[in-house]
Amino acid sequence: METKKYYITTPLYYINADPHIGHAYTTLAADILARHLRAQGRQVHFLTGTDEHGANIEKIAREKKVGPQAWADTIAARFAAMWELLDIRYDDFIRTTQPRHEEAVKLVFENLLEQGDIYKGSYEGLYCYPCENYWEEKDLKPGNLCPVHGKPLQSVKEDTYFFRLSKYENALLNYFEGHPEFLLPKNRSQEIINFVKDGLQDVSVSRSKVAWGIPIRSDPSHTIYVWFEALLNYATAVGYGERLAHSSEDKAAMRALTGGLDMDRYWPADYHLMGKEIYRFHAVIWPAMLLALGLPLPRRVFAHGWWTVNGEKMSKSRGNFVDPAGMAAKYGVDALRYFLFREVPFGGDGDFSVASFRQRYNSDLANDLGNLLNRITNMSVKYLGGTVPEPAQDSAMPAQIAETDSAYNAHMQRLEFDMALNRVWALISGMNRLIDREQPWAKAKTEPEKLPAIFGDLAAGMLAVSGWLAPFMPGTAEKIRASLRGPDGKIQVCPPLFPRLADEAAGPAK
């Protein structure tokens, strides 16, 4: 069998609106991790996609006077276009309206129904239509409001099929204890453990009043609950449907729908990445579903924090959603990618403001990185004709590069993206200090024989920097490499990487 691919996923983004900075944050994190692993020679499979069923999508499509599939097609295309704009290189984009997903989900439901992990009953509870989710009273905000949207809930009663989540309470707790790296980051793990210890209730997994969904094969009057079926995408995308099919005809059909993927090459997932608002679904319900299906659980489930804007939660009513396309158009894709992962630790909450973005742009990118490359290339061309000398034999630079590389890789493995960038910037700052201390412009007149060693160090350090920055700022890394290793093998002067921004009043974050 071929080597297992390192499997990274984002959640499937709900198509109730256009993509915003929160969606971009998760997807960029997955892209950065995937690029880092590929650079190390790992085979990677990076999956993203869109979640397209449910009553809320029916409602929005009706308001827009289009069919739900037409609405889904429009918004899914906007997500794909946004990821292309942000230079995100995923391997697969799954949509829950695709036959490869829908047909496999039907098989999953029937198998769990047959083995008794799904059963029919009735349910009455408080329901949030934007969430497509029932909430227990203990989870609500004051005033019986949805804990995610802060909106009033509706009392709903309907016949439904249930998944026996309660059956897997002890199994989940035992798994959490035996696999301490499963729930990440660590500061969120206890919340999940306590939730399970408080007792798990069986969960509703079908709707009898929602037409826009995947119908149950054995009971087409019900459609499968959007959250239950959407979680299955991680398995359906890599060929799980073929495993479930009983007849040779069904197996052949499922194999054709998934392109003949061998699930053993992908499963289990190595990283599920998501925002903290959907952590419970991924850390409790999804693992219980996998236990019921007899599949290995993912190795890590990582929930990052939320972005606020100028200290306020993003919301349509406030009109403060950050538009990644607008930011990228004004400041460049790589500047946006850098800011998001240098500004706050991945896993924590962060605040987005144009003022803080511009400050980092000017200080980190224009002054530190861009100015360093300009100094190295301009003086190398001026004093050494653009030749690329080697570091001196007694140079400290190779050891500094090795030390930085070791720390960088350790941080990247733990998704400590800000810490990885901190280590890179420490070397960048050290190289700027080296230039200030050695003053090559003075040595060119008094000790020109020392210049090759100085610029050998600087070129070697800058090439290493380009490699570390490549997952975060791929276009910038390529420009650095091209400048240090031109077509003729010589150093070339390139235009400023990040022209300094003039001061301006910070407008809205768009």
Grouping H, G, I as helix, E, B as strand and the rest as coil, residue 14 is: strand
Among 5, 36, 101, 146, the one annotated catalytic: 146
Q: Phi then psi for 200, rounded to 5 degrees?
A: -100, 135
Under DSSP, the state recorded for 386 is T
Cis-peptide, bond into residue 185, ω within 30° of zero: yes
Residue among 53, 33, 52, 34 at smallest CA distance from 43: 34
- CA 488, CA 335: separation in Å to the nearest integer? 29
Grouping H, G, I as helix, E, B as strand and the rest as coil, residue 150 is: coil
* 302: alpha, beta or left? (left if phi > 0; alpha if psi -120 to 50): beta
On the 0-12 / 13-18 / 19+ scale of CB atoms within 10 A, 54 is: buried
For residues 206 and 216, the answer to whether their CB atoms sit within 8 Å is yes
On the 0-12 / 13-18 / 19+ scale of CB atoms within 10 A, 130 is: middle
Among 23, 106, 272, 304, the one annotated catalytic: 23
Among 128, 282, 304, 411, the one annotated catalytic: 128
Residue 494 falls in the annotated catalytic set: no
Cis-peptide, bond into residue 448, ω within 30° of zero: no
Residue 128 falls in the annotated catalytic set: yes
Among 20, 53, 106, 282, the one annotated catalytic: 20
Among 157, 186, 197, 313, the one annotated catalytic: 313
Residue 246 falls in the annotated catalytic set: no
Among 45, 53, 106, 131, the one annotated catalytic: 131
Distances (CA, A) of 477 to 145, 226, 287, 357, 365: 47, 41, 39, 20, 12
- Give the DSSP H/E element, type plus range, for residue 337: helix 333-343
Question: What is the DSSP pairing of strand 271-275 with strand 219-224?
Answer: unpaired
Q: Which residues are catalytic?
A: 20, 23, 128, 131, 146, 149, 313, 316
